[in-house]
Structure formats: structure tokens, C-alpha cells
Amino acid sequence: MKETPGEITNLLLAWNNGDESALNRLIPLVYDELRKIARQFANRQCTQLKNAFQPTVIVHEAYTRLVDEERVEWRNRAHFYGIAGRTIRRIIVDEYRKMKANKRGGDWEQVSLGEVDGAALPRVDLLALNAALEMLETWDERKFRITELRFFSGLTNREIAEVIGASEKTVEREWRSAKAWLYRELTRGAAL
């Protein structure tokens, strides 16, 4: 079911044509829609419950619902994923911050990357990640965009290459060094 394909599509097109205010109207729509989709997924009692929580599923679902494909060129689609990634990042980080504040009076379990050994995966403080991403944005915008699209839109390197208009090889290279840099940044002060 496409809910408001017309409106979103119009805004995308307007934004693409240079109307910067369209972006500001676009983001709240996408935000609401993403929340709605996430909730519907979870309520669907789908057999793969966890898939409901993966940004990539939600983003692709949002796209098919929100965007009138016939009217939108690839470039707009790329924009859409960019917006969705940014929006999801905003939602996740806001909620994470709230959870941290509410939970156990700040006694939230905090383990930074690298502190947990053994086979188990380390946990990442998303606020620390977000702060690192903001640093990255001021310094190397392309690495930042690639990282955001990877983490929060769940796009593959190939899809990202199309979105940002670079070769897949470049994306791979940039993603690798962005990851290493982030890892370094998040483990600063902790033994590697």
C-alpha cells in the first residue's frame, strides 16, 4: 500500500530541483513513515522477527511505499536513501539517548568497543559512534556518507556507489578506512 507516494515524490522532485525547504518537509514525513513501518513489521508476527528491526528492510519497504517509482529517477531514489539513512540515524540515536537516560538512572551498562574479549561481539555506544560520525562529517564528508548509508540505510557498497556516484572500488576503499578510523576512534583510551 502506498500511503502518500504523491506527496513524498513531489517533495523529492522539488528538492532535486533546488527547493531546499522541501527537504525540511520531507524528513518528518519519512520519519513518521519509518516508525510506522517498523511497528507494522513487528506486529505482523513475521517468522523472521528480527528482520523487522533491520534498517535495510525498513528503508526498502519505505521506499516502495512512499515513492512513486514511475516519476522518480535513480538520482531521486539515491536521495531518498540518503534521507532515510539520516532519518533512521536520528531516530536511533535519539531513542538510544533516551534509553540511556531513563534506564536504571543512568546505570546503563556501558561497554565500549574493545573492552569485551572472547568470542562475544563487543557492544558499541551509539552516542560515541554518533559523535565520531559527526567528527568524520567535518573532516571527510564522503567517508561520512558512506558510513551513514552502510549503517543506517543498510545499503551495500554497490548501492552506495550508485547513490554517491562513485565507483564500487572507491566505496570499498573508503569504507574500509572509515571503519578502521571509527574503530580507532571508539577504542581511544582502551587497549586494542
Partner 1 sequence: MVVSRTDTGSGIVSELDRRAMRIFEDALDLAPDAQAGFIADACGGDAALREEVELLLASDRQAHQLSEAVRAEIADVAGAVMVAPSGQSLAMVGVKLNGRYVIEKRIGAGGVGVVFLARDEHLHQRQVVVKVLKESRDPWLLRKFTQESEALTRLDHPNVVKVLDRGMVEDGRPFLVMEFVKGETLEDFLKLGAGRLDIATVILLIHQIFRAVETVHGGGIIHRDLKTSNIMVRFQADGTLQAKLIDFGIAKIFETTAGNQTTTPLTVGTLPYMAAELFDGQEASVASDVYALGIIAFELLTGARPFVAKGRSLLAQILEYRNLQETGAGGQLRSLRPELPEQLESVLLTALAFHPEARYQRVLSFETALIAALEGIDAAGIPETETLTLGGSESKVEAASAVVPSGTTARRATGDLPKTAPVKMNWPVTGLIGILIGTGIALTIVGVPPRWGFPKPGSVPTPAPAPVSVPVSAKNAPALPFTLEDAPTVATAGQEIRLRATLNRGGYFYVFSESPSLRTDALPNYTVLFPGSSDNGGSSRFDVRNLVIPPVESGPGFVFEGKQGTEKLWVVWSAESVPVLETVRIRANPKDQGVVTEREQVLALGEFLKKHVEPDENVTVRCVKIEHR
Binding site for partner 1 (CB under 8 A): 35, 38-39, 41-43, 45, 49-50, 52-55, 58, 91-92, 95-96, 98-99, 102-103, 109-116, 118-129, 131-132, 134-136, 138-139, 150-152, 173, 176-177, 179-190, 192
Q: What is the dihedral of CA 102, 103, 106, 107, to 10 degrees?
A: 170
In the complex, least distance from residue 156 CB atom to partner 1, rounded to whole angstroms: 12
In the complex, least distance from residue 166 CB atom to partner 1, rounded to whole angstroms: 15
- Of 17 and 138, the one with the shorter C-beta distance to partner 1 is 138
In the complex, least distance from residue 68 CB atom to partner 1, rounded to whole angstroms: 26
- Angle at which helix 168-186 crosses helix 157-164, to 10 degrees, equals 110
CA distance 44 to 100: 28
- Of 73 and 134, the one with the shorter C-beta distance to partner 1 is 134
Q: Is 3 helix (H, G, I), strand (E, B) or coil?
A: coil
Q: What is each CA distance from 23 to 18, 26, 141, in whole angstroms?
A: 10, 5, 19
